[in-house]
Chains A and B, each alone.
Chain A
């Protein structure tokens, strides 16, 4: 039982991060129909940026804030310089553009930062909390708490604010949104900016647990993508559930089956979901029009 609980804790911790990455995917996908493979690199920028700014003598909270702002700027540039000029391109072309962007960001990160693994001190100490025979790191609580706060904030933003409603309107029908006076270009930039911020925040809180390096973005992107797909592409709640599910399955797979194939779990799940449940857990049926 204690082992089970331990696996649940670690699963929920990484799952919360996958959920945040998936949420970023969902936001951009809804607004612009683009699957942004550079989403994981925002996580890296958040983590690495904070590490290097903190090493330069800036206080941790301020360093984190600056790293998040840097990620937002990268997100806005990505939209302005790479996605906007290619509007109307095929899905495959758009995928390749964001993969190119992801490789580019990693390449630049190698130059700006370095190729080593880095960590951050845990926010509130390393003393584990005993709970039901298992232990929980205080940093795990930070990860889950921040993720929860972001989910709620994003929900309120999308449901209650005018800007959030404009974003949802753009997602539903770009032309109709433009007709009722929504500035679609600004909304799309907003989606990229908010996505980048979510990714970077996830990167800051998870770095004390998982470490960070210039290339950690790829796995975060792939697993976040799996999470978004499990939940049903384009459903924010689905992204959250999918993320937690992938995190839990990964922890159980590593704990009970084999830790060698831990990284394969997400992909096996993707394949199974695509074969048997192509619209995801929360996706509705779609009808193809000819």
Chain B
């Protein structure tokens, strides 16, 4: 029974929904709901990276750049052009997708270290633009984001945002699971194992990699837009190199290629600093140590390791 459940495609989705419903009962304070909402948002961004890194095996060390792009779209659109924030959320995602499409083709020709450094450079340049174009972005201090109104209802309060972000994550997870099982998902996994073999089997490797990159960028931009709208503020820090590393760490710690892993990894890296606020000056050291320890001793990540262990116990 449990074994079949572990193998079922949408089991992840039901488990996730169950957790989302349970959290408000277990931790009914606005603070916990806010933290949980931040977890859902980062899990959404990490899901995009799961598709790119986990399925297609392509690393991106500049993904926070797309996160920032989504956030600034929601901030700049209403403030400078009087556009609707919800429309801007989608515009930001479209913009991120278009940018990923443009830069993706030359960048994704690279492999291994070269790909890592090219994406890193791209992310740093985006962060620098957000930092320097202060007429548009408010410079290093960032800019305020107008409150979002949907059908006449203002989105405010921890509980409202909890459900908005939870819903967004569920949709994102549903799409990611479907992508995994689609021909594109199988093609991505094939080129992950061997690009030459995948090309030999008739897969257009360049196009599929580009598709994964664009999808990953759109996920990150949506997450960034939600984060900015929820916080009512966006700063260039959202697009920083450190943030890109944290996103990659979420995917790897949770479990490369696992949808649930992205959520677990995001929860781990969002909740941990909250738990460590007492020892705030140790936060960076602990984060670095955790990344190292996980990469060395648990390279498969939490969820796949746990799943394998459960399946072995059952059989």
Residues of A contacting B286 in the complex (Cβ-Cβ under 8 angstroms): 107
Which residues between 103 and 127 of chain A lie within 8 Å of chain B, taking CB atoms?
A: 103-108, 110-111
A106:B128 contact, CB within 8 angstroms: no
Residues of B contacting A97 in the complex (Cβ-Cβ under 8 angstroms): 291-292, 295-296
> Whole-angstrom distance from the CB of B123 to the nearest CB of chain A?
9
Residues of A contacting B196 in the complex (Cβ-Cβ under 8 angstroms): 290
A278:B110 contact, CB within 8 angstroms: yes
A132 close to chain B: CB less than 8 A: no
Instruction: Return the CB mask of A258-290 against B: 1 if under 8 Å, else 0.
Output: 001101101110110011001000000000001
Closest to B290 in A: A100
Closest to A225 in B: B117
A93 close to chain B: CB less than 8 A: yes
Knowing A96-B252, A107-B287, A264-B124, say if A91 contacts B292 (CB, 8 Å): no
Residues of A contacting B2 in the complex (Cβ-Cβ under 8 angstroms): none
Q: A89 contacts which of B110, B283, B299 (Cβ < 8 Å)?
A: B299
Residues of B contacting A226 in the complex (Cβ-Cβ under 8 angstroms): 117, 121
A86:B284 contact, CB within 8 angstroms: no
B152 close to chain A: CB less than 8 A: no
B289:A104 contact, CB within 8 angstroms: yes
Residues of A contacting B283 in the complex (Cβ-Cβ under 8 angstroms): 107
Q: B121 contacts which of A105, A261, A271, A278 (Cβ < 8 Å)?
A: A271
A80–B242 Cα gap in the complex (Å)? 25
Knowing A92-B116, A96-B248, A275-B106, say if A107 contacts B288 (CB, 8 Å): yes
A95:B116 contact, CB within 8 angstroms: yes
A205–B288 Cα gap in the complex (Å)? 28
Binding site secondary structure of chain B: helix
Residues of A contacting B122 in the complex (Cβ-Cβ under 8 angstroms): 267, 271
Q: A260 contacts which of B59, B121, B132 (Cβ < 8 Å)?
A: B132
Knowing A95-B113, A97-B296, A275-B106, say if A222 contacts B120 (CB, 8 Å): yes
B159 close to chain A: CB less than 8 A: no
Q: B284 contacts which of A107, A267, A274 (Cβ < 8 Å)?
A: A107
Instruction: Return the CB mask of B279-304 against A: 1 if under 8 Å, else 0.
Output: 00111111111111001110100000
Which residues between 225 and 265 of chain A lie within 8 Å of chain B, taking CB atoms?
A: 225-226, 229, 233, 260-261, 263-264
B155 close to chain A: CB less than 8 A: no
> Whole-angstrom distance from the CB of A233 to the nearest CB of chain B?
7
A85 close to chain B: CB less than 8 A: yes
Q: B288 contacts which of A89, A100, A218 (Cβ < 8 Å)?
A: A100
A108–B289 Cα gap in the complex (Å)? 10
Instruction: Return the CB mask of B94-134 against A: 1 if under 8 Å, else 0.
Output: 00000000000011011011101110111011001000100
A264–B286 Cα gap in the complex (Å)? 30
Q: Say which size band chain B's interface belongs to.
A: 35 or more
B117:A270 contact, CB within 8 angstroms: yes
B20 close to chain A: CB less than 8 A: no
A102 close to chain B: CB less than 8 A: yes
Knowing A93-B299, A263-B128, A264-B124, say if A274 contacts B292 (CB, 8 Å): no
B285:A111 contact, CB within 8 angstroms: yes
> Whole-angstrom distance from the CB of A200 to the nearest CB of chain B?
19
B249 close to chain A: CB less than 8 A: yes
> Whole-angstrom distance from the CB of B201 to the nearest CB of chain A?
14
B241 close to chain A: CB less than 8 A: yes
> Whole-angstrom distance from the CB of B236 to the nearest CB of chain A?
13
A100:B289 contact, CB within 8 angstroms: yes
**Size of A's binding interface in residues, CB under 8 A:** 42
Residues of A contacting B120 in the complex (Cβ-Cβ under 8 angstroms): 222, 267
B296:A104 contact, CB within 8 angstroms: no
A106–B281 Cα gap in the complex (Å)? 11
A35 close to chain B: CB less than 8 A: yes
B285:A104 contact, CB within 8 angstroms: yes
Residues of A contacting B288 in the complex (Cβ-Cβ under 8 angstroms): 100-107
B245 close to chain A: CB less than 8 A: yes
B117:A274 contact, CB within 8 angstroms: yes
Residues of B contacting A266 in the complex (Cβ-Cβ under 8 angstroms): 121
A284–B123 Cα gap in the complex (Å)? 28
Closest to B241 in A: A218
B121:A267 contact, CB within 8 angstroms: yes
A261–B133 Cα gap in the complex (Å)? 10
A8 close to chain B: CB less than 8 A: no
Q: A104 contacts which of B113, B125, B292 (Cβ < 8 Å)?
A: B292
Residues of A contacting B284 in the complex (Cβ-Cβ under 8 angstroms): 103-104, 106-107, 110
Residues of B contacting A209 in the complex (Cβ-Cβ under 8 angstroms): none
Residues of B within 8 A of A (CB): 53, 59, 61, 106-107, 109-110, 112-114, 116-118, 120-122, 124-125, 128, 132, 196, 241-242, 245, 248-249, 252, 281-292, 295-297, 299
Residues of A within 8 A of B (CB): 35, 82, 85-86, 89, 91-93, 95-97, 99-108, 110-111, 218, 222, 225-226, 229, 233, 260-261, 263-264, 266-268, 270-271, 274-275, 278, 290
Given contacts A267-B125, A270-B117, 9 further A-B contacts (CB under 8 A): A95-B59, A100-B291, A104-B288, A104-B292, A105-B288, A107-B284, A268-B125, A274-B110, A278-B110
- Give 29 pairs: A residue, B residue, CB < 8 Å, sorted on A: A82-B296, A85-B296, A86-B295, A89-B296, A95-B61, A95-B116, A96-B245, A96-B291, A97-B292, A99-B291, A100-B288, A100-B289, A100-B295, A103-B284, A104-B284, A104-B285, A104-B288, A106-B284, A107-B283, A107-B289, A222-B120, A261-B132, A264-B125, A267-B121, A270-B117, A271-B118, A271-B121, A274-B118, A278-B114
